Amino acid sequence: MKYFPVFIDAEHVNCLIVGAGEVAARKLELILKTPASVSIVSPWVSDTVASLAKQHDIEIHERVFEDKDLEGKSMIFVATDDSQVNQHIHDLAHSQSKLVNVVDNTPLCKFITPSIVDRSPIIIAMSSGGVAPVLLRYIRQKLESVLPSKISLLGNFSEKFRAKVKQALSSVTDRRYFWEEVLDGDIGENVLQGNQALAEQQLDTALEAYQAGNKPKGQVYLVGAGPGDPDLLTFRALRLMQKADVVVYDRLVSPDILELVRRDAEKIYVGKAKSKHTIDQEEINALLAKLAKEGNRVVRLKGGDPFIFGRGGEEIQTLIQQGIEFQVVPGITAASGAASYAGIPLTHRDHAQSVTFTTGHLRDNTIDLDWESLARKQHTLVFYMGLTGLNIICEKLIANGLPEGTPIALVENATRGNQKVVTGTLGNIMNKPMTANIKPPTLIIVGSVVTLHQELNWFGASA
């Protein structure tokens, strides 16, 4: 590790910036976020630097650098286009054991400014030592996307109660475990949601309980995992998956999404496959309640959206009956994911002015639906769980007025790398050779919007 990462108390820093172009402006903007005092030396000044200096009452010496400018300065940024001047200031500052940074010239830097994710008072600083700035920006973008935008509220909340917790819990280990519970649990979530008063009340209660050795109450999070592509998870879903003690998941949750769950979380599979239920719904409901009552943070991870053919409502009813707290995190439902990644708009001015989501699930070898109302023109139909009953769906729609030539699409493993799309018509889809190879999970889309698939298919192969 060539560069030792430290954070300097900027309240006692006297900073000099030599140069006043756009490069110097970037350093000035950064240092202005701190309480450091700043002065600038440059024979000419850019509009950006002039504006910043005026806003913050910064002293500018419009002249060339003089050796005496280093007097009383503890940090120096050099941002001129004169290599000889840059070298001279570096050598002079180095001889006086001052921190000096010659911008974009790593060998002449006694310190470097890191890439920063600023959620003050929480600050994340990263560096590649000047060897991979593009990679560093890429990593920063990743961090920006997963950090809650309001994590600064957690920082302020922790600061407010730090002394109180320290006084109540003398053991460093006890304090660490307590703060982990606070930040990972319901209290931290309420802080992020802006429920400050409730969070403070909960912290007082939790602190008293922790002192008495009582474990906090468990909670259940019903999280929509989306159609399969992990990039389609919401930020909140990912955050809750990372704090879960137990994850209860179904067959439609992709392996890539499961990889994002907290490593040491217990994972319980409760999937169902083509009428072969590993565990029935009532048992799942009871399991969620049992795990929460044991004090766990339980994530019920469901493919798609919990409230669209996900039986989330049934699970919540059980939790309410047993007095268990819960939250619901919506996800991108399979219909939206499949349609978007197959290039099939569910509505289009020239094709469909409405869309219906329905189930194609077989019961007693039939599908009991209002077929007459479904078989409409200028309308899109999306069938969930309909692959086994595909022949019945086609027959019923034709019998109730849709032409045999009505387009239909089967989308297997929507949004995933192995997505497959088979298109045809109500009259011929069963005879398509590729139809026999389609496996669940598959969504069925019916309507003239399917004709747009070939033109708009941006993601995967079709058959």
Active-site residue numbers? Answer: 250, 272
Q: Residue 189 contacts by C-beta under 8 Å, 6 or more apart in sequence?
A: 327
Within 306-365, strands assigned E span: 325-329, 355-359
Task: Locate 368 and state its tokens.
Answer: 């009991």
- Is the Cβ–Cβ distance between 437 and 368 less than 8 Å? no
Nearest one of 423, 375, 425 to 396, comparing CA atoms: 375
Task: Locate 106 and state its tokens.
Answer: 């790593």
Q: What SS3 class is residue 168? A: helix
Nearest one of 9, 16, 34, 6 to 114, comparing CA atoms: 6
Task: Locate 193 and state its tokens.
Answer: 């949601």
Q: How far apart are CA 369 and CA 107, in angstroms?
A: 73
Q: How far apart are CA 415 and CA 462, in angstroms?
A: 13
Nearest one of 220, 199, 222 to 325, comparing CA atoms: 220
Q: Residue 45 contacts by C-beta under 8 Å, 6 or more apart in sequence?
A: 20, 53, 60, 62
Q: How far apart are CA 200 and CA 203, in angstroms?
A: 5
